[in-house]
Structure 1
Amino acid sequence: MRLRLRPAHTPERLAEIYAQPHDHTRWIDHHLRVGVTIEFCRWFTACGVQTVADLSCGNAAIANALDVEERLLGDLAPGYQWTGPIEDTIHQIRNVDLFVLSETLEHLDNPDAVLKEIRAKTRYLVLSTPEGETGKANIEHYWGWDSAEVESMLIVAGFRPEIHTVLELREYGYDFQIWGCR
């Protein structure tokens, strides 16, 4: 299942929405998702990962929790070396061992193209995105999909999914799927 939830926002509207860095600490479900995402990343750091990029890092909790030599951090909101849409900043960084794409794919107008661009920059990917999101979507989200669709997108982009889980949060608006890929 893949569902376009809404048209892309204008650059002006995006600037309003993302004027401040995201604070995941406000919601308990985000604590759980971030914690599991960090553990997925740590699984890959055991494979010799020394550089990590997260160009939609919010408060950088995931990348900062990793024991790596270098972090390339960016966000649409100001405050990092790489500021702006990931579609632009991906071209500004060098290749890295691990790329984190946490709760970002659903915000992109062309998620398939961005996955292919990330594939060209990294050996490993850890990705999280809502599972099965539909009409009651977060206003920031352009897409909803299930795990089968995300797996297909990852494979088409050139990734090999290695680990996957779905966090079922019954009291929240949607569940989260988390992927680790080579």
Structure 2
Amino acid sequence: MRYIMLELISFYSTKFLASKLNISEDAFSIYKYGFTLLYSMVFSAISICTLSFILFDSPIYAIIFIFVFVSIRIYSGGFHAKTYLSCFILNNLFFLIIMYVALSMRDFYFLFPIFSLFSSFYIYRNTPVSNSFHPISQSKVVIYQRKTKFILIIVLIITMTLYFVQSQLSLIMSLTTFLVALLMIIVNKREI
């Protein structure tokens, strides 16, 4: 049901855009795909923020998770779900798992800067990871590497700074960086 609604909203958004602009039939499907991706990400973000607000009384955890997860993964690649619904479910599940681990490992904050460094190092060395659902052309590999490395350095600096100021948020950033590395490892292991 959610997928049908996503398709309908994307179709009517593209149709509205097409009525305002002169879009070819080929471009229509590209715009529709773009709207589908956009709405899928927005629905996931709203759901994660809602979970964060209801379960943890603050949307800041969701904002931190989404910031790290999306900003690194957009260029690093890795595992992708086959459907929008499974992507939606996995994103929400990933957030809940990270929050559970972050809340249950409060006594081990001192380990997470090291944890974050190892995850960041793996991503830095192996980005981007292409897979059959989202292949990366050879011409974009160097661009994606540069962008991922730049974003990763910024995330790592923020993570390390927050470690001394707000260790809970630093832990969420470390765990999310680890999740991105894990999703890259999954694809790399399948390709072997």
TM-score, structure 1 normalization: 0.28
TM-score, structure 2 normalization: 0.27
* Larger strand share, 1 or 2: 1
Highest relative contact order (Cα 8 Å, sep 6+), 1 or 2?
A: 2
* Larger helix share, 1 or 2: 2
